[in-house]
Amino acid sequence: MDKLQVKAAIAGICFGLYPLLLSRSRLPGNISCAVFTLIVFICVSPFAVGEISNLRQTRWVMLIGSGIASSIGMLAMTGFLSRTPAGSVGLLIVLMTVTQTIVTATYQVVMDKGISLTVCLVLLSLPLRLHS
């Protein structure tokens, strides 16, 4: 495996592990999210300082959009983690991961011009229409 594959595997292990640990913190959703974010900020900051000069070339709309999407996702995740019995946490994390994979795969297909965004959105909405 090359360095990128090793980093991807480490990220997968950590992203699989941290929600399980977070669900056992005994904190309710919103405060759990805030404390978690503070800890991440403290841990990541020393590594980010050396790259601060890159802020000049930042696409702020993308960065702000990703921050908002991540915030909503974290609040939703910590909300369900704090209310779910320990035996059911794994199933909800799998559902979250499958949904994340669908979104990422859809993005990749659209970027590869394999299908238009409109067609993708229609196809993704079909399960919702069939369910109701």
Helices (H), the chain: 3-23, 29-48, 60-83, 89-111, 117-131
**Number of domains the chain contains:** 2
**How much is the pLDDT for 131?**
45
Residues 41 and 104 in one domain: no
pTM over 0.85: no
> Which residues form the domain of 67?
1-83
Residues 70 and 6 in one domain: yes
- Across the chain, which has 132 residues, the per-10-residue mean pLDDT values are 90 91 91 95 95 93 95 93 89 87 80 73 64 46
Residues 99 and 130 in one domain: yes
Residues 67 and 2 in one domain: yes
**How much is the pLDDT for 10?**
93
**How much is the pLDDT for 30?**
92
Rounded Cα distance between 7 and 50, Å, is: 20
Between CA 65 and CA 71, with CA 70 as vertex, the angle to 5 degrees is 100
**How much is the pLDDT for 118?**
72
Residues 24 and 67 in one domain: yes
- Cβ 58 vs Cβ 112: under 8 Å: no
